[in-house]
């Protein structure tokens, strides 16, 4: 007994030491991260470095937060004099802050509405409107956990039926019809949705409402309607763990997080399309621009009903917005460099690698770059 007590004491001491070590290493790395030039020297390869100096502040979409983090880190290596801040406040708050003139760019899951465009933008020259570019494309995968099945084909109506609680067994005719040769079990379906409000839910239900308005009758929503039942889970990780933890579960998450789970290919035109970066970028190209906007406003109405072969319609598209004509000309120069980096092949790849977004297509890049070049 005495020995155990002593051992406990010893362990306590060890734990304390380990704790000290953790704190010390945190403090040390904290310093290192701030020393951008040092990081650059360690990189080995000499990089072309700009001599821009200044700070750009932005806020908005939290869906884009991981991408913004990656962009900022990479951008600041190329531009050691520039500090970019991005506060993931949520899209609504982000747009409001831009309208108040508190930020010089913003990220948003939805484009400017007409009321906002009719108002004033204090950061921009009076009477000029902001640009907006759909340069954050994030495919949403429909994932499921079913023994031995890694892919299923479904049309939009079936997906809507499952998430609306109307199709509740895997052996249902609607699923079997599009999956000949697949041995579907007689098992209850548990549809998992986000219990927190999220842009992922909004875009997913926007798809359901567009392709199956008679099944999914409540339109695009962020808070799940309780009459549709199903199971709620917190955040992307929550949905992933609920789907992988259950049997016969199905859910929707950022495609980059789908892991080893089975995924659904949805019906587009005459074929079935699984998610992929190219397929996600393709649907943005195939979708019409919102009418009556300025030439530098690429607000896009994502065509969820697209029949373009190889386009994947369940995507979350976020916009980056900024002034076309800044009151502060120095700011314009910084944002031009920042925007150019965001749409560049390198910028899009950085986000794809660290945050799992889908890089934009070359044609969208050309259009976006032309708009960014005009920033004054």
Partner 1 sequence: MSETKTKTVRRLGDVVFANLAFFAGVSILATLATVAAFLFVQSVPAFTGPEIEASKDGFWAYVLPYVFGTVYASVIALLIATPLAIGIALYISHFANRRFAQLLGYSVDLLAAIPSVVYGLWGILVLAPFLNPTFMWLNENLGWIPFFSGQVSATGRTMLTVGIVLAIMVLPIMAALIREVFLQTPRLHEEAALALGATRWEMIKMAVLPFGRTGIISAAMLGLGRALGETMAVAMVLSPAAVINFAVLTSSNSNTIAANIALQFPEAGGNYTNLLIATGLVLFAITMVVNMIARWIISRRAEFSGAN
Q: Tell which one of 54, 238, 274, 356 touches partner 1 (CB under 8 A).
A: 238
> Binding of partner 1 at residue 136 (CB under 8 A)?
no
Q: Tell which one of 97, 106, 138, 190 touches partner 1 (CB under 8 A).
A: 190
Q: Least distance (Å) from partner 1 to the CB of residue 65?
A: 11
**Phi-psi category of residue 114: left, alpha or beta, with phi > 0 → left and psi -120 to 50 → alpha:** alpha
Choose the binding region for partner 1 from 13-21, 32-40, 195-203, 364-372 (rule: CB under 8 A): 195-203
> Binding of partner 1 at residue 248 (CB under 8 A)?
yes
Other beta carbons within 10 angstroms of residue 86's beta carbon come to: 23
Choose the binding region for partner 1 from 72-80, 246-254, 255-263, 298-306 (rule: CB under 8 A): 246-254
Taking CB under 8 A as the criterion, which residues in 73-132 touch partner 1?
Answer: 90, 92-93, 96
> Binding of partner 1 at residue 142 (CB under 8 A)?
no
Q: Tell which one of 3, 4, 34, 41 touches partner 1 (CB under 8 A).
A: 4
* Residues in contact with 112: Cβ distance below 8 Å, sequence separation at least 6, in sequence order: 95, 130, 132, 297, 299, 321
Q: Tell which one of 81, 232, 274, 310 touches partner 1 (CB under 8 A).
A: 232
Helices marked H in the chain: 2-34, 36-42, 65-78, 91-99, 114-118, 156-163, 173-178, 199-211, 235-245, 277-286, 329-343, 345-355, 362-373
Other beta carbons within 10 angstroms of residue 139's beta carbon come to: 25
Q: Tell which one of 6, 234, 307, 374 touches partner 1 (CB under 8 A).
A: 234
Per-residue buried b or exposed e for 159-185, using 16+ beta carbons within 10 Å of the residue's own CB? bbbbbbebbeebebeebeebbeeeeee
Which residues of the chain form contacts with partner 1 (CB under 8 A)?
1, 4, 8, 62, 90, 92-93, 96, 188, 190, 192, 195-199, 222-224, 226, 229-234, 238, 241-242, 245-249
């Amino acid at each position: 007994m005495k020995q155990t007590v002593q051992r406990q004491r010893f362990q306590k001491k060890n734990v304390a030491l380990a704790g000290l070590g953790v704190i010390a290493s945190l403090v040390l790395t904290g310093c290192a991260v701030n020393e951008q030039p040092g990081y650059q020297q360690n990189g080995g390869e000499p990089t072309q470095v700009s001599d821009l100096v200044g700070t750009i502040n932005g806020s908005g979409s939290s869906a884009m937060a991981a991408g913004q983090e990656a962009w900022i880190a990479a951008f600041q290596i190329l531009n050691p004099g520039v500090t970019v801040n991005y506060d993931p406040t949520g899209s609504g708050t982000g747009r409001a802050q831009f309208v108040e003139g508190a930020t010089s760019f913003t990220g948003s899951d939805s484009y400017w509405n007409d009321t906002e465009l009719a108002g004033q933008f204090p950061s921009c020259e009076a009477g000029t409107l902001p640009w907006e570019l759909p340069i954050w494309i994030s495919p949403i995968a429909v994932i499921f956990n079913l023994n031995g099945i890694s892919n299923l084909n479904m049309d939009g109506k079936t997906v809507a039926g499952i998430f609306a609680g109307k199709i509740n067994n895997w052996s249902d005719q609607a699923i079997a019809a599009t999956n000949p040769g697949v041995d579907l079990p007689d098992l209850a379906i548990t549809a998992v949705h986000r219990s927190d409000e999220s842009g992922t839910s909004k875009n997913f239900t926007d798809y359901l409402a567009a392709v199956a308005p008679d099944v999914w009758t409540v339109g695009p929503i962020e808070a799940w309607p309780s009459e549709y039942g199903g199971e709620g889970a917190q955040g992307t990780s929550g949905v992933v763990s609920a789907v992988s933890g259950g049997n016969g579960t199905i859910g929707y998450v950022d495609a980059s997080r789908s892991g080893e789970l089975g995924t659904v290919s949805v019906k587009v035109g005459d074929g079935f399309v699984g998610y992929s970066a190219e397929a996600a970028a393709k649907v943005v190209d195939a979708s019409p621009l919102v009418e009556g906007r300025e030439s530098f406003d690429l607000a896009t109405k994502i065509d969820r009903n697209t029949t373009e072969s190889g386009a994947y319609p369940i995507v979350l598209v976020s916009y980056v917005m900024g002034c076309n004509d800044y009151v502060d000309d120095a700011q314009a120069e910084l944002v031009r460099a920042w925007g150019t980096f965001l749409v560049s092949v390198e910028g899009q790849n950085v986000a794809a690698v660290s945050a799992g977004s889908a890089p934009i297509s070359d044609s969208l890049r050309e259009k976006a770059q032309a708009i960014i070049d005009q920033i004054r």
